A = this chain, B = another copy of it.
């Protein structure tokens, strides 16, 4: 008992080894060439004393601390988790640690949190889907080395993005090939950049295929948002909609659950597809057709970009991943059964929710 007193410092090691602090430092950092004799003495002393350099002291003198920050709006989101995982593992492989800062969806705190986090680290990755582009661009510039993930940005900011618009177009094509002509997009959070990308994709898809109609229904990003949207979806279905594009898999999964209760068969009565390809997607019933986003790979890519920036390399091109369509069971040919007759007793209250809400954004997007 009694391990009181200051930890052992480099001075202790130097004394024990009978050399100067400078020599100890050199040995420990492999700088310059040091007499083998001294090297051995130092190593012994280090081992004997169980010496470990103080990260704080090194940080102060070197101006870096082998740590990178990552700011996310919500650690509970599978997408961010995947990115964090990939980043964390890739960075760890090169001796870097990750500091996470969850802004808890409070957009207005994001900048201050990011600034503060960046001060403690050598670089930062910004995951800020809701922050207005201009502010984010400014922030990124100020916090360099910094990379933005999961959204694109005008200008030359280092970005690792996902081409959500392209994903939507691919998905719409898939639906078109299955014979669908009227689709409904369940939108994510209004201010979310990736939602805006998807909306843009919807518009592009319509432009490319005039025979296709797609309306937009505000929804959200979580299981219960999808669940809650089911009645509006059923109403839209009565209106002729045969396929639903959900903002993400969570929404799609929640929707699937409620649809089942309402007696709507998927994909026979209605086709559904999601985004992200979370692990559960393949295990849903029916298995969820989804656009796969390489979450962990995004994280890895973020790290390699960050590393380059830390090393002083030029910014380089933005990287944008194209989502890969995972065709599964939840989206099928527009088929036999269709219409309200499939709806069970629960369907009674549908009108209350109504299809009108679906019109909110529809004007600007619909054909």
Contacts and interface: CB of A to CB of B under 8 A. Distances in A.
A192 interface: no
Interface in A97-133: 97-102, 104, 113, 117, 119-120
Among all A-B residue pairs, the 8 with the closest Cβ atoms: A56-B59, A75-B85, A56-B60, A257-B283, A88-B102, A60-B60, A55-B120, A99-B99
A173 B98 CA distance: 44
Contacts of A253: 280, 283
Interface of A: 52, 54-57, 59-60, 63, 65, 67, 74-76, 81-82, 84-85, 88-89, 92, 97-102, 104, 113, 117, 119-120, 222-223, 227, 253-254, 257, 260, 279-280, 283-285
Chain B CB within 10 A, most for which of A57, A98, A100, A113: A100
Contact of A279 (B60, B92, B119, B223): B223
16 contacts: A55-B120, A74-B85, A75-B81, A76-B81, A81-B81, A88-B100, A88-B101, A88-B102, A89-B102, A92-B102, A97-B120, A98-B100, A99-B99, A254-B283, A260-B285, A285-B285
B60 A57 contact: yes
A346 B66 CA distance: 53
A112 to B, nearest CB: 11
Contact of A102 (B60, B76, B85, B227): B85
Contacts of A260: 285
Given A75-B81, A119-B55, A279-B223, A97 B97 contact: no
A119 B285 contact: no
Contacts of A254: 283
A266 to B, nearest CB: 11
Nearest to A279: B223
Contacts of A81: 75-76, 81
Contact of A75 (B88, B97, B120, B284): B88
Contacts of A56: 56, 59-60, 63, 65
A104 B89 contact: yes
Contacts of A223: 279-280, 283
A258 to B, nearest CB: 9
Contacts of A279: 222-223
Nearest to A117: B97
A283 to B, nearest CB: 4
Contacts of A97: 99-101, 117, 120
Which of A120, A254, A284 gathers the greatest number of chain B CB atoms within 10 Å? Answer: A120
Contacts of A89: 102, 104
Nearest to A86: B75
